[in-house]
Structure 1
Amino acid sequence: MTITIIVLIITIAMFIWGRVRGDIVALSSLMVLTATGVLTTSEALSGFSSPILIMMVGLFVVGGAILQTGLAQSAGNSISKMAKGNETRALIYVVLATSIIGAFVSNTGTVAIMMPIIMSMAASSGIRSSRLLMPVAFAGSLGGMLTLIGTPPNLVISETLEENGYAPLKFFSFFPVGVIVIAIGLAVLLPMSLLLIKKIGKHQNGGQGKSVDDLAVQYQLHENIYKYSVGNNKGGLAGMRVQDLDLQNKYGLTILEIRNETKNALGKEIRQNMAWADTMIVQGDILYFYGDKQAMETFARERHLVSMSTDRLDFYDIGISEIVVLPTSRLIGTRIRDSRLREDYSVNILSIHRDKKYIKEELSEHRLQNGDILLVQGQWEKIMQMNHENENWVVLGRPDKLMERVSLDYKAPVAAAIMLLMIVMMVFDFIPIAPVVAVVSAALLMVFAGCFRSVDAAYKTINWESVMLIACMMPMSIALEKTGVSQIVSENLVRSLGALGPYALLAGMYFTTSLMTMFISNTATAVLMAPIALTAAQQIGVSPYSFMFAVTLGASMCFASPFSTPPNALVMKAGRYTFMDYIIVGLPLQIIIGIVMTIILPLLFPF
């Protein structure tokens, strides 16, 4: 028992100190407990085979697909249209939307989606972002209480109940609790958020850098891009090679890409290809041209091309980036047509940014100068290759990060259907599929359906630090129970509060968990407190469900510190908040939720 208590105290102290990664601290604690004989090898490794851990890994992938396809982003963009510049209305919409998204996506991912939307709303409509950012961080946690998968502590208490012979919680068992805490959150945050208003520059972008869409707007690409389809007309382009057209010399035009769009059982598939000299154009191809409008109309008329509406150039396999010509570059003084960038790196030069001017006309004849910024277009792999071969230029930004930020929006309906299928399998009991199987199947379907660029991209969505932290902390609860520590803590809680009745003990469980979550992760706190709450309920002879919900609420509803949850820390810099801002706004919300839920939980889950 002594060893377990010492290890627990040191572990919590290391979590609070924060200088060592949480997963390393948890793994070290696990090894000490195993080496000293407190845990057997099988007990120490039990966390890695836990269904909750596998489910969390699958949920990271599902949530990543929702982000990558732009599904959550499009939902957020609708909010800014509905708010119409009204700050209070915007706050309500933002909190509700964040809560709904947070029911299915990690709270960190949800807040990461909403932040740029809020900053954009602030810049375009005058809404003060500092009033919205902290409520959004809180709403991500509030929304996590709507579903079983909304936040890891929900999964923890469900598994603890099941392991001890109780009926596991269902997908929407949390829904009434979630609705109540969201209502409390809105009621508290509407007036309290006025205390957060700060003067933040409207054009502050937090150093996020330019996205591909930002570059497209900056260089006004939409003004010179034309989209046409190839028919089977006599004298048309079908059957011709790109080099036979001599577009640049005759018309001053460039084919940016040749696209094929097909439909199959998994939705729409889009293939983007660069137009090489020997590329054969076939009927049904969609061509994107770049150049002078009048010349484009002339060429289209001569070749019987069918015009298609376009207001932007999509970036999937093919992207754009900026490169700066260095003083020592071989390109200085060279005409663009002689630069061999297309031949050597398979990229098109779309524009030159020189002395605050954007040069687009007759590009091939312009000679490059020191300091020119070139907007280049090509396959992401080729742009990244240029980034590694920088004797003559420097690529601005990181092409790999730009590529990751490009959403596969044509896959959004597929991602939505898969997520809906996963929810249906988890909600309805007559479907004989375990929740963990439903989640892992959904994750696999997201990969098979092409909602990620690659399997590696899917793996990158998994927060392995969180996975290791949870897997290593789960056996800690075994050690606490095995050595009698959980029993002692629960007996002390029962002795001190049990005489005052189950309501007092329930409140004690919430606020004890809430206090611990201010210093260590909510998942680790839930893992430690769930068995204690279960034992305490058993000792006073009442149903443990209210007590388990008090644990997950105390673990998830932690708003009094910027470091208690990742979303709280995420908005701190953007909103220019201080530690005291979280105490002034977050602590009252945290306390009010605890008081209200102490009364409500026994009504929802009777003692």
Structure 2
Amino acid sequence: MTPEMVACLAILAVAIGAFAWDRLPADVIALGVMLAVIATGLLPADKAFAGFSSDTVMMILGLLIMTVGLVQTGVVEITGRFVFEFAGRSQAVFLPIMMVSVAVLSAFMSNTAATAFFVPLVVGYAAKIGVSPARFLLPLAFASILTSSVTLISTSTNLIVSDLLGTYQQPPMGMFELAPVGLPIAVAGILYVWLIGVRLLPQRSNQKAEEKIGERTYQADILIPEESPLIGKSLKEAHLTEDAGMTVVKAIRGSDTLRRAALDELELAAGDELLIEGLRADLLKIKDIKGIDFKADVHPAKPPEKETEKKDKEKDEEEEDEKTIVEGVLLPRSPLIGRSLRSLAFKERYGLEVLAIHRAGSLPSSISSARLRMGDVLLLQGTPQNVKALEQGNLFNIFGSVQEERLNRGHAPLAAAIFALAINRRNDEAGVIARCHAGRRVPHAADALPVSGRRLSPGRVEGVDPHWRAAVVVGAAMEASAPVNTWRNSS
């Protein structure tokens, strides 16, 4: 055994140990292996980075861009919402439809991204019907995993194997070449989980789903503005019902207050004020609904501006773009305890808008008139500077940003069409499409994208970060393994 072989085996052993230790990110370990191979002279530096330009890495990056497109334009959310509306409150109907839906999506996009996007929807559904989300989350994960061997692009491992076939003068795998083997396995696995596996899950208590996952039920005041397209529609037609994860507690119209049965016959009118209840993620979707606003977001009409006031308006618009949303819990010795938001003139004093409030036990009758209590959790909107000032004043403990990605649903058909075009291509053509997408978008994202893959410009999407790590691992490993392949071929 030559010294080079000993060095290579030592590096390999250290890498395996580091992966098993699981204390360092996989991409960092892979880059370390590549640098070690260069430092020991096993591979020239000019060849070590060649793996990052391989078809496999470009394919992974291209698929990431298309996956982000499907998520950001709402294609995945629309699919999930359709499943929940179709299933109603029947668990027997919901479970198989949910598993099949996530399985189909996972076959053509990152199963990590598909699962991550379905999780809050599933948790919300579990909360609505009053069962533990554990009954659905494990089947969700299995359904996503089982379809990873159905298509070429369902997991990066398939892409690596397909690329390696070319080094042995073999044609690459087709898009659905794995389906004759992978599809029966996926179908059998899903049937087993649905019919048998779900019955083997431990029974959980009927604790609220949102409390188990860390979600909180908030209450918020919302308004129907003038010329809203929702005027004249019922709450169901406006998607302000339990099916959308929201419950209207009461409606205020002038001096009248409507509750319970009266809400079923309510037709929305301009100026209506609604007190709604729901999980944080569901309430924040109000910002995407045209014709309805958080009361805190509505600013009173102002007289025509003078020329000297335009600069102040531009400054306010810049601050509006910088706004973030955070959760803050009222500290025990806060001087705000016992006072209402209206009496505090909270928005004017602290520069922050209170979108919603969570309170353990009894909930307030309205946001602005509620007297604050120790432990109240407020959903606050404002600039980072004002949020920091509030926390430094020992008034609140800020949890951090909970800003949700705004979905661009207008581009959903285009995103779906591009993705459909890509998956209908075979072999090299699929790689060409992916490389084209990556070539157009990745250079612009690179400025805001660290190697660890924590952000994607123009916006970060939860659940797709592992794809960036996979691209780095594959790019580093493909050439780092070259010395082993050379010795094997020479022997």
Is the shorter-chain TM-score for this pair beyond 0.5, marking a shared fold?
yes
Where do 1:488-503 residues align within 5 Å? none
How does the TM-score come out when normalised to structure 1?
A: 0.55
Residue 412 of structure 1 corresponds to: 409
> 1:27 aligned to 31, 35, 48, which one?
31
Q: Is the 8 A contact 2:356 2:380 kept in 1?
A: no
Q: Is the 8 A contact 2:116 2:463 kept in 1?
A: no
More helix by share: 1
Residue 419 of structure 2 corresponds to: 422
Residue 141 of structure 1 and its aligned partner are, at CA, apart by 2.5
**2:166 paired with 1:169:** no
> 1:143 aligned to 144, 147, 154, which one?
147
Where do 1:278-317 residues align within 5 Å? 279=302
Residue 60 of structure 2 corresponds to: 56
Change (3 A) 1:149 1:384: farther
Where do 1:120-159 residues align within 5 Å? 120-125=124-129, 130=134, 132-159=136-163
- Distance in structure 1 (CA, Å) of the matches to 2:474 and 2:7: 21
Q: Which amino acid aligns with 1:182?
A: A
Residue 226 of structure 1 corresponds to: 224
Q: SS state of the match for residue 154, structure 2?
A: coil
Q: SS state of the match for residue 114, structure 1?
A: helix
Change (3 A) 1:36 1:413: same
Change (3 A) 1:119 1:350: closer
User: What are the superposed Cα offsets for residues 246-288 of structure 1, whole Å, 9 maximum, x if unpaired?
Assistant: xxxx9998999xx9999xxxxx9x9999444675699xxxxxx
Q: Is the 8 A contact 1:51 1:436 kept in 2?
A: no
Q: Is the 8 A contact 1:422 1:438 kept in 2?
A: no
Change (3 A) 1:204 1:322: same
Residue 99 of structure 1 corresponds to: 103
Residue 30 of structure 1 and its aligned partner are, at CA, apart by 2.0
Unaligned runs of 5+ in 1: 232-249, 263-267, 283-315, 489-607
Residue 10 of structure 1 and its aligned partner are, at CA, apart by 3.2
Bigger-Rg structure (1/2): 1
- Distance in structure 1 (CA, Å) of the matches to 2:338 and 2:184: 68
Residue 53 of structure 1 and its aligned partner are, at CA, apart by 1.9
- Distance in structure 2 (CA, Å) of the matches to 1:354 and 1:134: 30
- Distance in structure 2 (CA, Å) of the matches to 1:472 and 1:161: 18
Change (3 A) 1:441 1:418: farther
**2:458 paired with 1:455:** yes
Residue 352 of structure 1 and its aligned partner are, at CA, apart by 6.8
Residue 345 of structure 1 and its aligned partner are, at CA, apart by 4.0
Where do 1:188-207 residues align within 5 Å? 188-194=192-198, 196-202=200-206, 203-205=208-210, 207=212
Q: Is the 8 A contact 1:95 1:139 kept in 2?
A: yes
Identity of counterpart residues, as a percentage?
Answer: 21
Q: Which amino acid aligns with 2:347?
A: R
- Distance in structure 2 (CA, Å) of the matches to 1:436 and 1:43: 24
Unaligned runs of 5+ in 2: 230-253, 257-270, 275-285, 306-320, 446-454
How does the TM-score come out when normalised to structure 2?
A: 0.66
Q: Which amino acid aligns with 1:420?
A: A
Q: Which amino acid aligns with 2:374?
A: G
Q: Is the 8 A contact 1:426 1:434 kept in 2?
A: no
Q: Which amino acid aligns with 1:15?
A: F
Q: SS state of the match for residue 479, structure 1?
A: helix
Residue 435 of structure 2 corresponds to: 437
Change (3 A) 1:280 1:426: farther
Q: Which amino acid aligns with 2:465?
A: I
User: What are the superposed Cα offsets for residues 273-311 of structure 1, whole Å, 9 maximum, x if unpaired?
Assistant: 9444675699xxxxxxxxxxxxxxxxxxxxxxxxxxxxx
Where do 1:349-368 residues align within 5 Å? 349=354, 356-360=361-365, 363=368
Change (3 A) 1:418 1:67: closer
**2:12 paired with 1:8:** yes
- Distance in structure 2 (CA, Å) of the matches to 1:228 and 1:56: 47
- Distance in structure 1 (CA, Å) of the matches to 2:304 and 2:288: 14
Q: Is the 8 A contact 2:38 2:48 kept in 1?
A: yes
Q: Is the 8 A contact 1:425 1:438 kept in 2?
A: no
Q: SS state of the match for residue 378, structure 1?
A: strand
Residue 397 of structure 2 corresponds to: 394
Where do 1:100-119 residues align within 5 Å? 100-119=104-123
- Distance in structure 2 (CA, Å) of the matches to 1:39 and 1:362: 65
Residue 481 of structure 2 corresponds to: 477
Residue 7 of structure 1 and its aligned partner are, at CA, apart by 2.5
After superposition, the CA RMSD in angstroms is 4.8
Residue 347 of structure 2 corresponds to: 342
Change (3 A) 1:390 1:414: farther
- Distance in structure 2 (CA, Å) of the matches to 1:43 and 1:348: 55
User: What are the superposed Cα offsets for residues 12-44 of structure 1, whole Å, 9 maximum, x if unpaired?
Assistant: 233223344333332232222222222111222
- Distance in structure 1 (CA, Å) of the matches to 2:53 and 2:413: 29
